[in-house]
Amino acid sequence: MNKVSIIIPTHNRSNIISETIDSVISQSYENWECLIVDDSSNDNTKDKILKLKNKFNNVKYHILPKKRGANFARN
């Protein structure tokens, strides 16, 4: 079974990031990893992601040191 990587770039999306991650977690396919790349958010996106990351080992969180845009975050 191949591992699927879901890449989620985000910037100041605290209002929808929990719903987005919940959608990934609720899938029936079990062999996945979720890579969340935060493009230097300055709202409480980080707090919401860290709560979910601590519950699920296959959720990884990376913060870019300065805003670079969604395409850079995907790469």
In angstroms, what CA-CA distances link 70 with 2, 10, 30, 41, 64?
Answer: 26, 7, 27, 12, 11
Predicted confidence (pLDDT) per residue in 11-61, tens digit: 999 999 999 999 999 999 989 999 999 999 999 999 999 988 888 889 999
What's this model's pTM, rounded to 2 decimal places?
0.87
pLDDT at 56: 86
What does the alpha-carbon distance between residue 41 and residue 25 come to, in Å, rounded to a whole number?
A: 22
